[in-house]
Amino acid sequence: MAPLPHVEPPKIDIAALEAAAAADPRDADIRLRLGWAFLSSDRLDRAAGAFQEARRLLPDDPEPYFALGLTHKKEGRSAEAVAAFHDAAERTSHLQDKARAAILRRLSLGHINYLERGEWDLEREVWGRA
């Protein structure tokens, strides 16, 4: 079997996202997209700022909290990451999409477990439901 060819990820136009965010400061979706773009390009301080703004605009949505947890984890700020992942997990019950809620909850708990104990250990979450 031949090896798979290397495929470059698509380029993200951060400048266009920044312009869109400036044009509509209340658009939380743009803030999230901008944060993910910054995170993927290792501009962690800018990612954290965008996710914090999205969190302010979407206080009940777990995604900005989860994304901020990933940013803090990548920065090596474990305590802040754990707090953000806890906040994300707590907010998953607000989601209409129960599959998305379950995924975000499990991912958040997995990151917490990994940061605190060095392992994902989701057996109870996945299999131990009463």
From the candidate CATH numbers 1.10.150.120, 1.25.40.10, 3.40.50.620, 3.20.20.120, the one assigned to the domain spanning 14-127: 1.25.40.10
- Predicted model pTM: 0.87
The answer, yes or no, to whether residue 70 has pLDDT greater than 90, is yes
- Calculate the average pLDDT of the chain: 92
Among residues 26, 100, 98, 99, the alpha carbon closest in space to that of 63 is found at 100
Confidence of residue 43 (pLDDT cuts 50, 70, 90): very high
Residue 110's CB: how many other CB atoms inside 10 A?
A: 17
- Mean pLDDT for 57-69 is 97
Contact in structure between 46 and 33 (CB atoms under 8 Å): no
Higher pLDDT, 120 or 80: 80
- 39 burial type by CB count under 10 A (0-12 exposed, 13-18 middle, 19+ buried): buried
pLDDT at 130: 43
The answer, yes or no, to whether residue 27 has pLDDT greater than 90, is yes
37: tokens are 């773009």
| Dist. CA 49–CA 95, nearest whole Å | 24
The answer, yes or no, to whether residue 10 has pLDDT greater than 90, is no
pLDDT at 123: 77
Among residues 26, 51, 56, 23, the alpha carbon closest in space to that of 37 is found at 51
Contact in structure between 18 and 34 (CB atoms under 8 Å): yes
- Sorted by sequence, the CB contacts under 8 Å of residue 90 that are 6+ apart come out as 62
Residue 95's CB: how many other CB atoms inside 10 A?
A: 18
